[in-house]
Chain A
């Protein structure tokens, strides 16, 4: 066991736990954001640098600080480690810089993108006041392709987090796409279009933190904030069958897996649940999904029962955080003019 202190909050965690997971065990807003790390995918993480933290004290035996910010998704804890995340102005600034780097080649076509409203890069940019880019040069350009028969790839939006590659490796029977070339010209590709057809491959859409991989059956059907999420299940022999249906009126526009507060799916779902069962009669409805009230998807949603209780506690938590954490926002990181 190792005792680690993150932003003044201590916790005992098993040896070999990463700083990010230790922070998630504590919970709250000290959890570093992650664009490439995915707790349900093995060997994920270490690419995007969004989860940088400062290690102010390496361990009890060797209390020297680490010389550079470290990626918390890969750095394991040591006994007596002291970590600073949002309490360190240096880290808040470094993360804002990382966000800007992620936006370098991003086309900023959010008005067109189907992911808008549930996009992690959008949230991250907004949280760090990076709603625009300083980059003036030509961005890398790719044609949009049908990477699978039901999946569209917009390579221009990709941030190369490798999550979809790991989904194909770990969930599908075989992988037929990957990252080709290196550096600036690295791209997710298959060489041949329409080949990603293995079962469970639809989970790539859910794990993609940006709008690079999107559901073709939902393409341009509706903006996500005009649809209403409802939890439902069915008995499926290939997956858990627990999904979220996105309704517009009486029509199910798309089916996704349920996501937790870190935007990670709770359980993988198979392609047949995702693409082929879009009738209310296919599903047993459990009730309206709980959406964080800070999300644009919660606009005009009226929650009842347990979801309403969740919503109330959500609002209380956010208000408490606002009172506590004024110091973390005072460093200009939240100021949109400070680009």
Chain B
């Protein structure tokens, strides 16, 4: 029968020679290949002791930034939530009371702010939508868990710590070009008063 492609192989049932029948050369050849791999460069790393460098554009767990004075930048404007294609973000707004100026930057703030990390697709649209430079995606990984409700991250997990040395670095997401662009006078209304 004419074969349709030239890839078919005719199976032969011929008798093996003596060398083939003792199998040793084939076994030895296989062992040599395995041994050779011992001396090659390893492709795996010992996580979590060793961590691979992330690409500068990596988008991991979110952070809600504080400003230079430690006040929360988020003003619960809801633009991240409306931009979110997975509808992962919810928030409740509240009015800042007199005396809370150190805690919240604007007269309105998010009293609860939740991101469902199971819904989130880490697209970074929330970051683009944010008019207050508050939410950023960082190179931190969202840790795994056994319970679904643990993945709804509230403000306790999202807002960065107040201490100066524990702030989350987002300089990779704020390239020099972006910062230069934001220095423009037309964005002054978003600068510190």
Contacts and interface: CB of A to CB of B under 8 A. Distances in A.
A339 B186 CA distance: 10
**Chain B binding surface SS class:** mixed
A220 B106 contact: no
B100 interface: no
A226 B81 CA distance: 9
Interface residues of B, number: 20
Contacts of B94: 220
B95 A220 contact: yes
Contacts of B79: 111
B75 interface: yes
A225 B95 contact: no
B103 interface: no
Interface in B73-114: 75-79, 81-82, 93-95, 106-108
Contacts of B107: 112
Nearest to A219: B95
Contacts of A111: 75, 77, 79, 106, 131-132
A111 B110 CA distance: 12
Interface stretch (A131-139, A173-181, A305-313): A131-139
A233 B77 CA distance: 31
B106 A134 contact: no
Contacts of A116: 77
A1 interface: no
Given A111-B131, A111-B132, A112-B107, A223 B185 contact: no
B144 interface: no
Interface in A97-141: 107-112, 116, 132-134, 136
A296 interface: yes
Contacts of B81: 226
Contact of B78 (A132, A133, A136, A226): A226
A78 B84 CA distance: 52
A315 interface: no
Given A220-B94, A296-B82, A112 B186 contact: no
Given A111-B106, A136-B185, A296-B82, A220 B77 contact: no
B189 interface: yes
Contacts of B78: 222-223, 225-226
A61 B107 CA distance: 59
A220 B108 contact: yes
Contacts of B189: 107-108, 133
Interface in B34-59: none
B34 to A, nearest CB: 58
Interface in A7-65: none
A136 B188 contact: yes
A108 B189 CA distance: 7
A134 B189 CA distance: 11
A299 interface: yes
A226 B79 CA distance: 11
A73 B46 CA distance: 74
Interface string A184-226: 0000000000000000000000000000000000011111011
Given A112-B108, A116-B77, A220-B93, A225 B82 contact: yes
Interface string A219-259: 11111011000000000000000000000000000000000
Interface of B: 75-79, 81-82, 93-95, 106-108, 131-132, 185-189
Given A111-B75, A222-B93, A299-B82, 12 more contacts: A108-B189, A112-B77, A112-B108, A116-B77, A132-B186, A133-B189, A134-B185, A134-B186, A222-B78, A223-B77, A225-B82, A296-B82
